[in-house]
Chain A
């Protein structure tokens, strides 16, 4: 089977029995999965199912109560998240990783121009020449379909959809290997959502990004994800190929979730 010979021999991220308790209350428990280079995994489930807790755990923003998360870095070293220092984790988040928040205000610096938002991340990766940084900022605005004459505007002057596209540009400009997305289309109008989804779909494919995506919107999951994890009460109740889980759900909860989609 040729996938055994493909160049990506090891998972990028390995999650093993990831568990987090908020005091005595379970956030998520015993979640395990591997994420391979170029693979998009969506975590779906209703509010309170533990999907955002899981995303926080695997991106190192919340400590594990038990279990392990191992990231294979660009140099091929296995990095155990629990033993990584806060500084190392922040460096990863600025360089090899991206994090797209539901609310762009959480992922952008609102007092800095759009170009500055993009340039800041480039400088964190070592870029120094002003002209190069400005040109890359220019290219990325174009790529996320923001008029380039808005390069020097602050994000506060942008619409919600533009802010979200800018946040995506800020994250992707450093060619990250792994991007976490928390409801990236959540706060947007339906028409703006479609455009953003289409843009994301192309970028993910063109850049070969590995993505962990949290969404409660199954249509978003179907369009973007290779694989789904369905969460309920802090645990994974069903997982598999995205279209298979959505078209032939086995678990009672997944069946309920899928049958609750309004037919357009």
Chain B
């Protein structure tokens, strides 16, 4: 049931997956993430065990300094794929190899502890919705990403303030918890939280949905800055204009027919 069922004293944790699993770096930048033969099917036990296939035999690569856009009709499995990459969903088959520090972690099979470490240090995720934490101020939510990594609190607060300002969150809201904010404001707080630290791999699930033109433009700039810092960005963008502005590669998802172009 659990990977370590021995009570022998202080056994070292299992070794990481071999590094050979990711192919050598190309001119496109370092390969940060490789997806191999990934399949995800949901089985709904409460509804007679009906099985819904999101995708199967899916292969892709993401490179540092580049933005890979997942594109396809609603229901094609874009968000499901992104959630699998973050290990929020558990794929049925295949591997998700992420370059983590000097090794490789397979997010499809890693222990919860290893997944949490990858999320903390390597992989960022910006969803459409802010999971509201009661009583924590906006500024602290954003700065908390830095202080949790040992950064100095006053520097973190300055960075958070600068980012909230760029995303047009009025200063009078900074010391309030975002529970009562509008959807668009919450989304921008979420973006600030996702972008305040450098993530070697950055997953974006429609970060620009319901934003106005000025804020969309800011997000496009933030993505460009993240790429310049070497992030491998993987995102879903429904907005054609945003997609064209940020994409280096577009990965088309169609039910049953998934390939890169």
Please list the residues of chain A having a beta carbon within 8 angstroms of any beta carbon in chain B: 1-4, 6, 9-11, 14, 16, 32-34, 36, 39, 68, 70, 72, 78, 194-195, 197-198, 201, 205, 223, 226-227, 236, 239-244, 247-248, 250-252, 255-256, 259
A-B residue pairs, 7 tightest by C-beta: A252-B45, A1-B16, A10-B10, A248-B89, A241-B112, A194-B134, A1-B103
Contacts of A244 in B (CB 8 A): 87-90, 112
Please list the residues of chain B having a beta carbon within 8 angstroms of any beta carbon in chain A: 1-2, 4-5, 7, 9-13, 15-16, 42-46, 83, 87-90, 100-105, 112-117, 121, 133-136, 148
CB distance from A44 to the nearest CB of B (A): 15
Looking at the complex, which one of B13, B88, B116, B133 makes contact with A247 (CB distance below 8 Å)? B88
Distance A9 CA – B148 CA, assembled complex (angstroms): 21
Q: Which residue of A lies closest to B1 (CB)?
A: A32
CB distance from A219 to the nearest CB of B (A): 11
Distance A250 CA – B112 CA, assembled complex (angstroms): 16
Main secondary structure of the interface of B (DSSP, over half): loop
Contacts of A1 in B (CB 8 A): 16, 100-101, 103-105, 114, 117
Distance A194 CA – B135 CA, assembled complex (angstroms): 8
Looking at the complex, which one of A32, A239, A240, A259 makes contact with B46 (CB distance below 8 Å)? A259
Contact assessment for B112 and A226 in the assembled complex, using a CB-CB cutoff below 8 Å: yes
22 A-B contacts (beta carbon < 8 Å): A1-B16, A1-B100, A1-B117, A3-B117, A4-B12, A4-B15, A10-B11, A32-B2, A36-B113, A70-B7, A78-B7, A78-B9, A198-B135, A223-B133, A226-B116, A240-B112, A241-B87, A244-B112, A250-B90, A252-B45, A252-B46, A256-B46
Q: A2-B121, A194-B135, A248-B90 are in contact. List 17 more A-B contacts (CB 8 A).
A: A3-B13, A4-B12, A4-B13, A6-B117, A10-B9, A16-B5, A240-B112, A242-B112, A243-B88, A244-B90, A247-B83, A248-B83, A248-B89, A250-B43, A251-B45, A255-B45, A255-B46
Contact assessment for A195 and B134 in the assembled complex, using a CB-CB cutoff below 8 Å: yes
Q: Which residue of B lies closest to A17 (CB)?
A: B5
Distance A254 CA – B258 CA, assembled complex (angstroms): 31
Kindly name the residue among B90, B101, B104 whose own CB sees the greatest number of chain A CB atoms within 10 A. B90
Distance A195 CA – B115 CA, assembled complex (angstroms): 28
Contact assessment for A198 and B134 in the assembled complex, using a CB-CB cutoff below 8 Å: yes
CB distance from A133 to the nearest CB of B (A): 30
Looking at the complex, which one of A32, A201, A243 makes contact with B5 (CB distance below 8 Å)? A32
Distance A228 CA – B246 CA, assembled complex (angstroms): 37
Distance A93 CA – B102 CA, assembled complex (angstroms): 40
Q: Which residue of B lies closest to A253 (CB)?
A: B45
Contacts of A78 in B (CB 8 A): 7, 9
With A39-B113, A194-B134, A198-B134 in contact, is A239–B9 under 8 Å at CB?
Answer: no
Looking at the complex, which one of A10, A227, A236, A248 makes contact with B1 (CB distance below 8 Å)? A236
Distance A142 CA – B148 CA, assembled complex (angstroms): 22
Looking at the complex, which one of A72, A205, A241, A251 makes contact with B115 (CB distance below 8 Å)? A241
CB distance from A81 to the nearest CB of B (A): 11
Distance A251 CA – B133 CA, assembled complex (angstroms): 28
Contact assessment for B2 and A239 in the assembled complex, using a CB-CB cutoff below 8 Å: yes
